[in-house]
Every structure is written in C-alpha cells, then in structure tokens.
Amino acid sequence: MASTYTDLGIELMATGENAGTWGTKTNTNLNLIEQLTGGFATVSIAGGAGTTALDIDDGALTGTAQQRVIEFTGSITGNRIVTIPNDVETFYILKNSTSGAYTVQFKYATGSGTSTTFSTTDKGTKIVYASANDGTNPDIVDVMANSSEIAVTNSNPIKFQDADNSAFVGIDAPATVTGSYTLTLPAAVGSTSQVLVTTDGSGTLGFTSTSSFGITTGKAIAMAMIFG
C-alpha cells in the first residue's frame, strides 16, 4: 500500500513502505509541520485583474499555501483574487503589502462560500481561518471582522489612519476609569447645528440641536470674540 497525504501535504507512510527512506521522509514531515505552524512566505500577486492560486505540494516544503503567515507583494493594476484548495483546513495570518489601489480577495478555489477582501486602501493584516466545512462551498472566516468584542488594553488608543497612513485620529480611555461604561452611537446621522449628547444614564448618544441649550450662531460668534 502506497503512502497517502493529508490535506496540508504531510506524508502518511504505510506499514512496510519506503524502506530505507523513513529518516528522510520523517525529517521532511517534521520540517513541513514546523512550516505549517510557524512559517512565513512572501507571494507576489503582481499584475492586472486575475487570480493567483496557492498550492499544496504533497511531501514537500514548496507549497505556497503551506505557511502560517503569507505576505502578498507586487504592484497590482487590477482587483486580484488569491485562492487555496477546497480541502485546506487551517488558519492564516495574511499581510497585504501590494502597491496599487485595488482589492485583494482571499477565498477557496471554487464554490460560493464566504471569503475575505482587503479593500483598495487596506494595506493591513488579517487573521482568517479556512474551515473546509463544505466540499462544494467552504468558508473563509475573517476572525477580527466576526469578533463579538475587541478589547484594547493598557489605555492604548484605537487609531483611524488617513488614506496614506501618514496621520491618524485616535480614541483613548483615560488612565483611570472609576466605572466601566459603553457609549452607543445613534442609529442615524444628525443634521446641521446638532451635537451628540447622552440621552439616558446608560451611555446612549443622540443628536440634539444646539438651540436646546440656548446656543445660537450669533451667541457662538460673540462668545468666540470675547473668550477667544
């Protein structure tokens, strides 16, 4: 009986097979396991609109889908698609280092299962897992996009970068908070000359006209002239 291979290319040697080569094959397997759990590779996806297929190479270290961290590089001049075989079941850390304002979609080779996409301006990192949950339509799940809660510790800010990542707008918690609370944004946008205020004692925010506080445009100008 000949050897078989796992979905990620590790060789499963049959009893009595590969006489005299077990050491070499076992070492290859161990190196492949190390690569699958902690390997890093850059993959150029340069070019116009099209697809780059990442592959699994049975019993070898050369498969582009057999890494833990994959960085996409190259100048792209159209929306790109990167695929993995439908039977792959693992998780990836993906970094989009391409140049060019086009999307990069990561998906299974075929089927209509879910996928994840870097937007035209997203040159960041995603953590995804490939579920192989359906032979025809398997799903790619973006871990952070589907997280039920994100906690930023040590009073670190959440930063919203501008288009070229040269500056940001940050939101931060004070060094000491006497009691935990959550601010809930309004369900709809406000109108001109409205401000955000709390509408209850639970952190719900709503838009309210400044005139509710006796503030008008004329008064605001006068105050600015007096107080600077």
172, two tokens: 């931060």
72, two tokens: 């996409």
Place of tokens 């889908």: 65
Answer whether 95's CB lies under 8 Å from 69's CB: yes
Identify any residues that bridge with 4 across adjacent strands, giving them in sequence order.
Answer: 12
Rounded Cα–Cα distance for residues 49 and 119 (Å): 14
| Chain segment 169-205, per-residue pLDDT in tens | 999 999 899 999 999 999 998 888 888 889 898 899 9
Instruction: Read off the pTM.
Output: 0.74
Rounded Cα–Cα distance for residues 136 and 152 (Å): 38
Measured in residues, the chain has a length of 228
Rounded Cα–Cα distance for residues 134 and 7 (Å): 14
| Chain segment 94-111, per-residue pLDDT in tens | 999 999 999 999 999 999
